[in-house]
């Protein structure tokens, strides 16, 4: 029996994807126990929301998953719309789908890129970030912000697509799959990367379901579950897309599912842009919404498939202009809970790879 070494990874560490602290117990280089200590980024967003009007919460939701702000915007707005009984114009729904699929690309680029950087392939990180930049440029043209968009609003979206945006978007989704192929060959085909990720942090399908994993983490384990298809919301029933799945549930599958989801997102965006052309520009907001929403008493839960999985928002209203309680069901929180299960028995280097393949965003984990 050798002496155990307790290593404290984080809260400020290059590979914790934010501020997470992982207390790792090592036997040599083998992890015998890993415990994520979260909450370093806990800003009390749920408490703050109780003190803000429904519109003022939208910028707060930007700060939940700051890699995929559009998702939190949308999930929150869906909950508000369900609570207040607001019908959203179809054009706005299409725009939401488009921006959220672009956001999926942007977010997965971060996920793949940081998974690559975790294994030392920093160049792939930059290639992925180039693609993310292109998406972020599109978002900047759309809503004037590159990270915290504050774009999806209860009742619609805050601004219509600017002139020429559709063409720019088409150019991007045309070139994106090629860039993905390049990353696929350079990273996922690389012998070192495969050796680093294959068979590391295997999550079987039963565990994935029992632990409430969702998104690419669950799909990497072969759990064929995607809210876009299985609990269809918004305009998703009108699109044709496949849900890529992994077989083994190791870090490689989890990371590569993201890559193919980006390609699928391109397909969805393309279809959405085609269908959007039939709608009259400018109708992006429900007419006649009061400045201060005050839904009646009640509660509502709604969720969407974010880049990280099932992102739900639960709202309770007491009839006032501020929600009585807001709860964010964050996929990253549930997924991160798997880390001790997945990392135990692997080396310290693998722990980082497993964490990278779970792709947590701590703004969302800690809220």
Of the pair 36, 273, the CB lying nearest other proteins is at: 36
Q: What is the dihedral of CA 39, 334, 145, 280, to 10 degrees?
A: -150
Q: How far is the CB of 57 from other proteins (least distance, A)?
A: 8
Q: How far is the CB of 332 from other proteins (least distance, A)?
A: 11
Please name the residue ranges forming H helices in 43-121: 45-49, 54-62, 69-84, 90-118
Sign of the C-alpha dihedral computed for residues 335, 336, 342 and 348 taken in this order? positive
Based on the number of CB atoms within 10 Å of its own CB, is 4 exposed (0-12), middle (13-18) or buried (19 or more)? Answer: exposed
Of the pair 96, 153, the CB lying nearest other proteins is at: 153
Cα 322 to Cα 56: distance, rounded to the nearest angstrom: 9
Cα 103 to Cα 134: distance, rounded to the nearest angstrom: 11
Q: How far is the CB of 142 from other proteins (least distance, A)?
A: 7
The residue count for the chain: 367
Q: How far is the CB of 6 from other proteins (least distance, A)?
A: 7
Q: How far is the CB of 130 from other proteins (least distance, A)?
A: 6
Indicate the helix (H) or strand (E) that contains 167: helix 165-183
Q: How far is the CB of 32 from other proteins (least distance, A)?
A: 15
Of the pair 177, 275, the CB lying nearest other proteins is at: 177
CB 188 within 8 A of CB 250: no
Cβ contacts of residue 99 below 8 Å, gap of 6+? Answer: 70, 139, 142, 149, 151, 152, 157
Of the pair 116, 273, the CB lying nearest other proteins is at: 116
Of the pair 32, 190, the CB lying nearest other proteins is at: 190
Of the pair 109, 300, the CB lying nearest other proteins is at: 300
Of the pair 171, 242, the CB lying nearest other proteins is at: 242
Q: Shortest CA distance to 308 belongs to which of 148, 100, 60, 136?
A: 100
Q: How far is the CB of 310 from other proteins (least distance, A)?
A: 7
- Token code pair at residue 2: 């050798």
């Amino acid at each position: 029996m050798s002496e155990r070494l307790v290593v404290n990874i984080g809260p400020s560490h290059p590979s914790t994807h934010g501020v997470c602290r992982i207390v790792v117990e090592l036997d040599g280089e083998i992890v015998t126990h890993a415990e994520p200590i979260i909450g370093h980024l806990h800003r009390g967003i749920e408490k703050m929301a109780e003190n803000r009007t429904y519109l003022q919460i939208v910028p707060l939701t930007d700060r939940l998953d700051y890699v995929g702000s559009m998702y939190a915007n949308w999930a929150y707005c869906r909950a508000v719309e369900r609570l207040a009984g607001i019908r959203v114009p179809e054009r706005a729904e299409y725009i939401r789908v488009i921006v959220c699929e672009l956001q999926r690309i942007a977010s997965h680029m971060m996920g793949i890129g940081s998974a690559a950087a975790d294994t030392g392939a920093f160049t792939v990180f930059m290639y992925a970030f180039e693609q993310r930049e292109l998406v972020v440029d599109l978002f900047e043209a759309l809503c004037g912000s590159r990270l915290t968009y504050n774009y999806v609003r209860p009742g619609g979206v805050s601004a219509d697509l600017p002139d020429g945006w559709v063409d720019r978007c088409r150019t991007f989704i045309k070139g994106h799959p090629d860039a993905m192929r390049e990353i696929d060959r350079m990273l996922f085909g690389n012998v070192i990367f495969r050796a680093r990720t294959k068979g590391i942090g295997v999550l079987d399908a039963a565990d994935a379901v029992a632990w409430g994993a969702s998104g690419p983490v669950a799909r990497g384990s072969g759990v064929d579950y995607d809210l876009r298809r299985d609990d269809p919301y918004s305009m998703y029933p009108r699109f044709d897309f496949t849900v890529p799945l992994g077989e083994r549930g190791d870090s490689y599958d989890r990371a590569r599912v993201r890559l193919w989801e980006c390609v699928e997102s391109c397909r969805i965006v393309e279809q959405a842009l085609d269908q959007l052309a039939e709608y009259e520009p400018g109708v992006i907001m429900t007419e006649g919404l009061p400045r201060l929403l005050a839904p009646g008493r009640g509660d509502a839960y709604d969720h969407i498939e974010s880049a990280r999985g099932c992102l739900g928002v639960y709202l309770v209203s007491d009839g006032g202009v501020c929600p009585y309680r807001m709860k964010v069901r964050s996929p990253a929180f549930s997924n991160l809970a798997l880390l001790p299960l997945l990392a135990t028995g692997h080396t310290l280097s693998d722990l980082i790879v497993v964490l990278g393949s779970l792709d947590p965003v701590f703004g969302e984990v800690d809220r």
